[in-house]
Amino acid sequence: MPQSTLVRERVLSLLPVPVSDPQLDDLLFASKAEVEHRDPDALGISVTPDRLDLLSEGGLALYLQGALEVARGLPPIPAMGASAPVTEFVVDASVDRIRRWIGGFVVRAPADAGIDAGTLAEAIRFQEILHDSLGRDRRAASLGIYPLDRLETPIHYGLEPLADVRFVPLDGSEEIGAERFFADHPMAMRFGALGREGDRCLTLRDVRGTVLSLPPILNGREGGEARVGDRTLLIESTGTRPQSVRESLGLLLVVFAARGWSFAPVAIRRAGNPAEEYVVARPAVALTAAEVHDVAGVALPAGEIERRLGRCRLSARPHAGGWTVESPPWRPDLLAPIDLVEEVVLAVPLRPGDGRIPPSTTRGRRRHETTFRRQIATALLGLGCAAPHTSVLASEAAVARLPGSRAVRLANPVSAEYAVLRDRLLVSHLEVLGRNTRHGYPQRYGEVGPVIVADPAAESGADTRYRAGLLLASETAGFADAAGAADYLLRTVDVVAVREPAELPGTIPGRAARARVAGEVVAEMGEIHPRLLSELGVPVPVAWAELDLTNLYVLAGRRDTA
């Protein structure tokens, strides 16, 4: 879970009433945040990924104001109006190939003293949290904070030759060229590929040529160093995904909105296109009383629903049959009515004493199918198998070992190691074999677990099925061991199958088979091909058997095996 260490005094200073540690824990019980550690000066907070706003002092304070009912509805975000500085991004078409999207807004401090050290530190700390989480380590989006009073607009965003770029890095004291920066600077070594194409790099400059930053790598000191006392700041985001750019800007705004800063959007001009701008308002979501009742299970009065939404710092405008609910820019998780219903339900936390046993003479028990699978798992333990408990997610390399696989690929995987949904346990169990070559043989692995198979008739295009898999690696392992293990597991549930030869991915031709019951395949078995074993570094033969428990359960009959 995302975490941050917040300054306790900055959170409490935004609350009009004192809050003790037990009371704080109680208030956070109903939220998606919890205190991981605390000391007199700091609070360690962890949150679920959809409530990143709670990782800032301002965002957490806004939530606590609502939970304490000392404030309700959307916090005001004052607009600068006619006093807003004329600011715009002029975007060159050259950026389209590597980092097209940009957005921004201007914020102004409510006092002449400008930004204080605590707020500046909070904004920078929260900016880095957003880089690592929502920004996907700056790939999808990155943020910049600049002193607008020391710049001259418009701001130009483009791709320039390295030889034409010289600036003082934010952490440096002397001017250097971009070629040296990309060759030597640690930030360029880590993020340089995200803001460079060949011998050119991305830049943000004002009309005087001052370098604000080399997105998404590092700010320049002259134009990109916000300092204590700056009254007007430019907040900018660039990225490869427009949604990530919008959401990161909206989340960072909470730092300033919580302390009464005023706001103005920045226009974006591209050649041949009408002006765009970052919009602070989010589309309103319609909510009906019936939707609340269907999920909450109780009929809440209209006034109670509005009160709960107000506690969540949301504003609800009533209309016939329901409400139109407005959410702030730092709540990108509120997309549909079900999200609002969740807010209503969580606004008043459930307590252990609130639970009631339903008026029924029966009590819950395990489903028959679960008991059936446990019976097979127990049989695997009886065969001396260690249970590896593998993930349904697998790597492309693991699936590629078994040619002909119809495994489902994820459209947007978090990493190459978890990019495919396995369609058989063998995919994961071969990985287990490869990781344990340092141990002696024989080795036995057996597991009951889910697999995902492609199914065009399913709503998601795939179907979850359960299988039981067994691997035996030993000097004497062969097809007879695989067939014997499959027969034993089938007899455990009083099933006798007909075995037929088959060519199966990853097995030796002529040494593999399928088992059928009433024409349905319930098991596959065979010897693993030496080529695969050589790639994995396994020095002994391996026998494999795998049962389709989803098919087998239906064919064996829905008997109560408890």
Pick from 373, 384, 363: which is nearest to 562 by CA?
Answer: 373
What does the DSSP assignment read for 59-86?
HHHHHHHHHTTSS-SSPP--B-GGGS--
Question: What's the gap between Cα 550 and its chain centre?
Answer: 31
Mean pLDDT, range 24-34, rounded to an integer? 86
The alpha helices in 185-269, defined as continuous H runs, are 186-191, 221-224, 242-257
Which structure tokens are listed for 437?
């070559």
The amino acid occupying position 550 is T
Q: Which of 64-78, 263-277, 481-495, 535-549 has the lowest mean pLDDT?
A: 263-277
For residue 547, which phi and psi values (nearest 5 degrees)? -105, 140
- Predicted confidence (pLDDT) at residue 183 exceeds the cutoff of 60: yes
What pLDDT is recorded for position 558? Answer: 47
Give per-residue pLDDT as tens, 486-498. Answer: 999 999 998 999 9
Give per-residue pLDDT as tens, 398-443. Answer: 998 888 778 888 888 877 888 899 999 999 999 999 999 989 999 9
Mean pLDDT, range 524-541, rounded to an integer? 94
Instruction: Look up residue 119 and give its DSSP letter.
Output: H
What pLDDT is recorded for position 546? Answer: 96
Mean pLDDT, range 367-380, rounded to an integer? 91
What pLDDT is recorded for position 429? Answer: 94
Instruction: Place 559 in a pLDDT band, splitting at 50, 70 and 90.
Output: very low
Pick from 331, 283, 293: which is nearest to 32 by CA?
Answer: 331
- Predicted confidence (pLDDT) at residue 141 exceeds the cutoff of 90: yes
Q: Give Cβ neighbours of residue 276 (< 8 Å, ≥ 6 apart).
A: 267, 268, 269, 270
What pLDDT is recorded for position 404? Answer: 78
Instruction: Place 363 in a pLDDT band, splitting at 50, 70 and 90.
Output: low
Instruction: Place 55 in a pLDDT band, splitting at 50, 70 and 90.
Output: very high
Residue, of 157 and 461, whose pLDDT is higher: 157
Q: Which of 6-10, 362-366, 374-378 has the lowest mean pLDDT?
A: 362-366
Strand pairing category for 88-91 and 101-108: unpaired
Instruction: Place 557 in a pLDDT band, splitting at 50, 70 and 90.
Output: low
Pick from 24, 12, 25, 22: which is nearest to 58 by CA?
Answer: 12
**Domains detected in the chain:** 3-67 (3.30.56.10), 81-277 (3.50.40.10), 285-350 (3.30.56.10), 368-556 (3.30.930.10)
Alpha-carbon distance of 61 to 413, in angstroms, equals: 34
User: Strands (DSSP E) along 86-168, which ranges?
Assistant: 88-91, 101-108, 141-147, 155-161, 166-167
Residue, of 478 and 458, whose pLDDT is higher: 478
What pLDDT is recorded for position 560? Answer: 44
- Predicted confidence (pLDDT) at residue 296 exceeds the cutoff of 90: no
User: Please, are residues 233 and 226 in contact by the beta-carbon 8 Å criterion?
Assistant: yes
Which structure tokens are listed for 63?
């939530």
Mean pLDDT, range 178-191, rounded to an integer? 95
Which structure tokens are listed for 414?
């978090």
Which structure tokens are listed for 129?
């949290």
Pick from 218, 193, 60: which is nearest to 131 by CA?
Answer: 218
Instruction: Place 561 in a pLDDT band, splitting at 50, 70 and 90.
Output: very low
Beta bridge partners of 528: 507
Mean pLDDT, range 278-300, rounded to an integer? 85
Mean pLDDT, range 1-29, rounded to an integer? 90
Instruction: Place 562 in a pLDDT band, splitting at 50, 70 and 90.
Output: very low
Mean pLDDT, range 447-467, rounded to an integer? 90
Alpha-carbon distance of 315 to 293, in angstroms, equals: 20
pTM higher than 0.95: no
The alpha helices in 133-226, defined as continuous H runs, are 178-184, 186-191, 221-224
- Predicted confidence (pLDDT) at residue 349 exceeds the cutoff of 70: no
Reduced to 3 DSSP states, what percent helix, strand and coil does the chain have, rounded to the nearest 5? 35, 30, 40
The rounded radius of gyration (Å) of the Cα atoms in the chain is 30
- Predicted confidence (pLDDT) at residue 231 exceeds the cutoff of 60: yes
Mean pLDDT, range 477-491, rounded to an integer? 94
Which structure tokens are listed for 489?
């597991």
Alpha-carbon distance of 313 to 110, in angstroms, equals: 22
Q: Which contiguous run of DSSP H or E holds residue 42?
A: strand 42-47
For residue 147, which phi and psi values (nearest 5 degrees)? -85, 95
Residue, of 272 and 64, whose pLDDT is higher: 64
For residue 562, the tally of other CB atoms under 10 A from its CB is 11
- Predicted confidence (pLDDT) at residue 365 exceeds the cutoff of 80: no
Mean pLDDT score across all residues of the chain = 90
Interior angle at CA 41, CA 36 and CA 43, nearest 5: 20
What pLDDT is recorded for position 350? Answer: 62
What pLDDT is recorded for position 336? Answer: 92
Instruction: Place 358 in a pLDDT band, splitting at 50, 70 and 90.
Output: low
Alpha-carbon distance of 243 to 473, in angstroms, equals: 49
Interior angle at CA 529, CA 524 and CA 530, nearest 5: 155
Beta bridge partners of 523: 515, 547
- Predicted confidence (pLDDT) at residue 303 exceeds the cutoff of 60: yes
Mean pLDDT, range 448-462, rounded to an integer? 88
DSSP helix/strand/coil, 444: strand
